[in-house]
Amino acid sequence: MLMKENEPLARYTTLEIGGPARWFAQADTEDDVAEATAWARERGVPLFVLGGGSNLLVADAGFEGLTLHVQLRGIDVEADDAGNCIYRVAAGEDWDAFVERTVTDGCAGLECLAGIPGTVGGTPVQNVGAYGQEVASSIVQVRAFDLEQRAFVEFTKEECGFAYRRSRFNTEERGRYVVTRVDYRLTPGGAPTVRYADLQRALAETPEPTLIDVAAAVRQVRRAKGMLLVEGDADCRSAGSFFKNPVISEDQYEKIAASHAAPPRFPAGPEHGGCVKVPAAWLIEQAGFGKGCAAGHAGISSKHTLALINRGNATAAEMLALAERVSAAVDARFGVRLEMEPVRVGFE
Ligand SMILES: Cc1cc2nc3c(=O)[nH]c(=O)nc-3n(C[C@H](O)[C@H](O)[C@H](O)COP(=O)(O)OP(=O)(O)OC[C@H]3O[C@@H](n4cnc5c(N)ncnc54)[C@H](O)[C@@H]3O)c2cc1C
């Protein structure tokens, strides 16, 4: 396997920020994954697994270890006993291209997740979600290389521990597994999900939208928010949402509503009983950071308050400084701590 040295990482990330990887290898097969990770282990070198780089903030000094770029390809489809389609998808496949294939095949379940950048292998890590769907609802199994056991393992959906932007892959066991394949169960001929108001508005002229229509409408809505990677659109030089939507108690919600104004609210999900989810974008705007706000080379997207952007030649330090200013302002005004969504690489 080809091992590069001092490979600049900025070009592999949607933020276009980050110094070099001390070592860099590309995995095209499961054997490559086993071989590269053994190489790192024998030398006591830390490992970072890179997918599409769309949820990363890489340090200006880069990563003093081995970056393994997961590029495994291939999609197999089979029917299960109930007539559903099981898509077995290699981790390096492009996510949006895969979603497009499923809607073209007439299979429901992922149509609202169109336009999200990155790889298939990245989707179970933070349980990717948008416009009323998340991958946890479709995933049946995740295959991965376990760096501790030095063996391939398979997890059922239940074993993945999915919750809002969480899974076993980004919590206690972060960094332990290299995902090599994800299996999704989709419904042939199933009805599309059109739950979100933005999506309903975009489809107002389409009374009976197909899955293809819904995926196209999702991309259109995302484009208007700078949440679709579009060549030449400076607002999408981002990592998508920079903060998770905070989950707060009903008490805290009532206090904010009484002392300021009532924030919009959404159900927080069964794993957060008695709590509500509030939009981080609303809190950030109320705390004084509007769309298009600039801080040197870093800034906030002119289309979406939740996306911190590289305005050109921004450093990771500038991005973090802005993120810290934003979260300190939200904390001071509402007593809510925002949690960063992108993964920080090379900061330890
Ligand atoms: C414009 C834009 C819009 C976005 N919109 C959304 C959205 O609507 N919803 C949403 O949930 N996210 C969104 N994101 C975030 C991002 O696209 C997703 O989190 C995506 O799934 C990340 O995948 P990736 O392959 O790019 O992972 P990377 O950014 O390369 O890595 C992210 C994390 O996943 C790990 N990882 C990646 N691949 C593997 C693997 N094969 N095995 C083990 N670990 C792995 C990495 O080590 C790292 O910890 C958006 C990002 C951008 C730039």
Per-residue pLDDT, 16: 97
Residue 119 lies in a domain: yes
Q: What is the pLDDT of residues 214-225, one digit of tens each?
A: 999 999 999 999
- Ligand 1 atom with the smallest distance to the CA of 226 is 1
List phi, psi (to 5°) of 119: -105, 165
What is the spatial distance between Cα 311 and Cα 301, in angstroms, rounded to a whole number? 9
Whether residue 252 contacts residue 27, with contact meaning beta carbons closer than 8 Å, is answered with no
Q: Cα angle vertex 265, ends 324, 209, to 5°?
A: 110
Q: Which two tokens stand for residue 237?
A: 């030089």
54 within ligand 1 shell (Cβ under 6 A): yes
Pairing relation of β-strands 133-134 and 129-130?
antiparallel
130 within ligand 1 shell (Cβ under 6 A): yes
193: left (phi over 0), alpha (psi -120 to 50) or beta: beta
Q: pTM score, two decimals?
A: 0.96
Query: Domain check: are 204 and 285 in the same one?
Result: no
- Tell me which residue range forms the domain holding 250: 234-345
Does the pLDDT value for residue 311 go beyond 90? yes
Per-residue pLDDT, 272: 77
Query: Domain check: are 213 and 290 in the same one?
Result: no
Distance 53 CA to ligand 1 centre (A): 7
pLDDT classification of 348: cutoffs 50, 70, 90:
confident
Residue 22 lies in a domain: yes
| Active-site entry in 167, 241, 301, 327 | 241
Residue 220, CA distances (Å) to 214, 229, 348 in order: 10, 11, 38
Please choose, from the candidates 62, 48, 55, the residue with its C-alpha nearest in 3D space to the C-alpha of residue 8.
62
Bridge partners of 179, per DSSP, are 144
Q: How many domains does the chain have?
A: 3
Query: Domain check: are 215 and 95 in the same one?
Result: yes
Instruction: Among 71, 89, 125, 169, say which to mutate for ligand 1: greatest number of ligand atoms within 8 Å of CB.
Output: 125
Does the pLDDT value for residue 241 go beyond 80? yes
Query: Domain check: are 52 and 118 in the same one?
Result: no
Q: What is the pLDDT of residues 316-335, one digit of tens each?
A: 999 999 999 999 999 999 99
What is the spatial distance between Cα 179 and Cα 182, in angstroms, rounded to a whole number? 8
Instruction: Among 116, 170, 178, say which to mutate for ligand 1: greatest number of ligand atoms within 8 Å of CB.
Output: 116
Per-residue pLDDT, 253: 94
Per-residue pLDDT, 244: 94
Query: Domain check: are 97 and 213 in the same one?
Result: yes
Residue 229 lies in a domain: no
What is the spatial distance between Cα 3 and Cα 153, in angstroms, rounded to a whole number? 26
What is the spatial distance between Cα 239 and Cα 224, in angstroms, rounded to a whole number? 16
Whether residue 307 contacts residue 226, with contact meaning beta carbons closer than 8 Å, is answered with yes
pLDDT classification of 292: cutoffs 50, 70, 90:
very high
Query: Domain check: are 118 and 208 in the same one?
Result: yes
Residue whose CA is at the smallest distance from ligand 1 atom 2: 240
Q: What is the pLDDT of residues 19-60, one digit of tens each?
A: 999 999 999 999 999 999 999 999 999 999 999 999 999 999
Per-residue pLDDT, 268: 80
Q: What is the pLDDT of residues 148-180, one digit of tens each?
A: 999 999 999 999 999 989 999 999 999 999 999
